[in-house]
Amino acid sequence: MKKFFSLGISLMLFSFITSSLYASTPLVDAVWVKDQIGKEGVVMLDLRTPASYKKGHVPGAVYTNYSKDGW
């Protein structure tokens, strides 16, 4: 039982550490986004809440509900 508990704690810590690393490293930066606005074939998706999207978003960004739209 102690082995399973230790394994569970280890997996949780590993998951937390790796997710923190990825969360702090953006895929793109603001300069890239600015350079891509309006380019053909580039779609900016806004996954925030509808209220946040309505308050303001990247020009041309498309709102989508990640959970409900099923992708």
> Does position 39 have pLDDT exceeding 80, yes or no?
yes
Distances (CA, A) of 43 to 9, 21, 32, 51, 70: 40, 26, 13, 20, 18
The one-character DSSP state at 23 is H
> Does position 61 have pLDDT exceeding 60, yes or no?
yes
- How far is the C-alpha of 44 from the C-alpha of 38, rounded, in Å? 10
**Domain locations in the chain?**
1-26, 37-71
Q: Which H or E element spans position 3?
A: helix 2-23
> Does position 11 have pLDDT exceeding 80, yes or no?
no
For the full predicted model, state whether its pTM sits above 0.85: no
Model pLDDT for residues 21-37, shown as the tens digit of each residue: 555 777 888 899 899 99
